[in-house]
Amino acid sequence: MKKVQKDNLYIVPLGGLGEVGRNMNLFIYKGKILIVDMGLRMPEENMPGIDYIIPNTSIFKPNLENTKVSQFSCLNPKNIVGVILTHGHYDHIGAIPYTIPRLQNPIIFASNLTKGIVLNRQIEFSRQPKLIIEEVKNGSKISLGPFNIEFFRQNHNIPGNLGLFIETPVGNILYTSDFKFDPAPINDLPTDFSKFESFAKRKILLLISDSTGAENKGRSLSEKTISENLEEIFKQAPGRIIAATFASHLNRIQQIISLSEKYQRKVVIEGLSMKKNVEIARNLNYLKIKKGTIIKAEDISKFPDEKITFCCTGAQGEKSAALMRIASGEHRFLNIKKGDAIIFSSSVIPGNERTVQIIKDEFYRQGVKVYHYQMMDIHASGHAYSDELKKLIQILKPKFLLPIHGQYSMLVRHKELAEEEKMAPSNIIIAENGQVLSLNPQSFVIEKERVASNYVMVDGLGVGDVGEVVLRDRQNLAQDGMFVIVAVIDRITGKVKTSPDIISRGFVYLRESKQLLKETRQQVIKIVEDAIGAGGAVNWSYVKDELRDKIGQFLFYKTKRRPMILPVVIEV
């Protein structure tokens, strides 16, 4: 591995490039490390049982004694000057409990809302050392080693979202975090373009910018439009309104609450995470709620239907969320009836289309009115669309661009947009997680070395212990189930004692497969006795291999299925 050249700034994306989620970036200058965000993402379909995927931080060696770390393969957590969290969404903060202990609990900087959300999450991880979080806000300036950071507010769909202007010895970096331009936001001030202009005057060497919305044409919708459309529903709804959105989408929750107040509706907040977020945000004055607006679910019967709004989680069709319980008639206090209006006020995360369709259909079957974003604009993305991304580049005129946050196709599109704004293609880097980018006033290039960036999977208490082998086994087990054969062999005669035990799950319905099991047992006895042979030492692993192969073939011939065959041979 090559040494870090002291005159370059190194940027190492550990997550969020070529994917949506688990955002985490390192900035390294003369061995000093600044970390921005520490997010998680959801597993892919082919990762059954996995809870989350988090950034790979094996590059950090906590037990390293040598404090002068100079190689990328090996960073000392002692050299971390700070961790900055841009906002309180889990794709930016969710990996903290799994990662921060390994980094030896460095100081964190975040807005008060982000801090509140992070600390609330930590309650589940009570054995961990207390986090050290310092509050920052719009206009805050901090110095962390070679980095001088100024925070500025950015519109998104959660309050307390901060962009970063980072002065470094090689030049200035503007880091957008997730953002959109909104001339009429909810609970927030409009985008401050003069701020961007003042940053531009100080010269931006590198712009690091959100690509999530790059493939969308035009401009993202303003929250004002959303409010107006939601109000149409509130005006017409003859009965209860059940509005589902993301638990973290505090601005949308505010809209629903404000409209309810305007139309004299009481509001029930349903869903543990949404309740908690509302509580935190309300305590910090990020949510404006009149006294008496919020009621408990058990009190809805005290009010007429047209005076009730349910604001709940589950717009993605999540199995355990409030909306699913309502749809399936399992909610304790809310039974769907005609006259109810259901609002899906969120986009559908790719991969969730089927589940959302199923829950929507369930509501349609119950004869209620369903509103979703494909019918009318009742959800706005929190991410800048192509025209906004171009406008940012127009204002800032950065020398270099690093598109972050997005699938590879989004990063490519972001690059194309920058080229339309006359940036030189060679000044824009489409990077991948784990690549090392070096920046100086003259150049911005990808280094040859890479650091580990493969998935770290969280499953229950295990962080990173589920790998390819375990996942492949889970996939195989799911396909055709498993088939355990237990054969007890008489040590003296070399014969199978009694009928072999067969334990099978997920393969065939055993009660209706008695003939198949009978034939399989006969095969087992024959295969085992043939494999044992007459006299001499028995090769037990050969016996097992024979069982696995031949019973596998036999079952495939009979069923065209390939259960996982697990032979157990016991000599007594």
Q: How far is CA 125 from CA 51, 213, 273, 469, in A?
A: 16, 34, 16, 28
- Please provide residue 381's backbone torsions phi and psi, each rounded to the nearest 5 degrees: -65, 150
Question: Shortest distance, CB of residue 430 to a second copy, whole angstroms?
Answer: 9
| Helices and strands, counts by H and E, the chain | 14, 25
Which residues, listed in sequence order, are joined to residue 445 by a DSSP beta bridge? 438
Is 501 among the residues known to form the active site? Answer: no
> Token pair of 346, please?
């969120």
Question: Shortest distance, CB of residue 321 to a second copy, whole angstroms?
Answer: 16
Question: Shortest distance, CB of residue 44 to a second copy, whole angstroms?
Answer: 6
Which residues, listed in sequence order, are joined to residue 99 by a DSSP beta bridge? none
Contacts of 98 (CB under 8 A, 6+ apart): 40, 52, 54, 456, 458, 463
Q: Closer to a second copy at the Cβ: 357 or 454?
A: 357
Question: Shortest distance, CB of residue 112 to a second copy, whole angstroms?
Answer: 31
Question: Shortest distance, CB of residue 342 to a second copy, whole angstroms?
Answer: 11
Question: Radius of gyration (Cα) for the chain, nearest Å?
Answer: 29
How does DSSP classify residue 151? Answer: E
Q: Closer to a second copy at the Cβ: 132 or 570?
A: 570
Is 383 among the residues known to form the active site? Answer: yes
Q: Closer to a second copy at the Cβ: 78 or 562?
A: 562
Q: Closer to a second copy at the Cβ: 65 or 124?
A: 124
CA separation for the pair 434, 13 (Å, rounded)? 6
Q: What is the dihedral of CA 122, 127, 132, 136, to 10 degrees?
A: 0
The number of beta carbons lying within 10 Å of the beta carbon of residue 264 is 10
Pairing of strands 444-450, 435-439: antiparallel
Question: Shortest distance, CB of residue 65 to a second copy, whole angstroms?
Answer: 26
CA separation for the pair 458, 455 (Å, rounded)? 10
Q: Closer to a second copy at the Cβ: 448 or 509?
A: 509
Q: Closer to a second copy at the Cβ: 32 or 561?
A: 561
> Which of 37, 91, 178, 210 is labelled catalytic?
210
Q: Closer to a second copy at the Cβ: 33 or 429?
A: 429
Q: Would you say 564 and 484 are in contact if contact means Cβ atoms under 8 Å apart? A: no
| Residue recorded with tokens 């995470």 | 273
> Which of 249, 331, 379, 383 is labelled catalytic?
383
Residues that bind a second copy (CB under 8 A): 18, 44-45, 48-49, 215, 350-351, 353-354, 357, 360-361, 364-365, 370, 374, 407-409, 412, 459-462, 465-467, 469-471, 473-482, 484, 486, 488, 497, 501, 503, 505-509, 512-513, 558-561, 564, 566, 568, 570, 572
Q: Which of 377, 336, 331, 442 is nearest to 230 (CA)?
A: 377
Question: Shortest distance, CB of residue 100 to a second copy, whole angstroms?
Answer: 19
Which residues, listed in sequence order, are joined to residue 28 by a DSSP beta bridge? 10, 33
Q: How far is CA 374 from CA 11, 377, 378, 379, 380, in A?
A: 39, 7, 9, 9, 11
DSSP line for 167-182: EETTEEEEE--S-B--
Q: Which of 263, 323, 249 is nearest to 293 (CA)?
A: 263
Q: Closer to a second copy at the Cβ: 32 or 548?
A: 548
Question: Shortest distance, CB of residue 196 to a second copy, whole angstroms?
Answer: 29
Q: Which of 191, 197, 90 is nearest to 138 (CA)?
A: 191
Active-site residue set: 210, 383
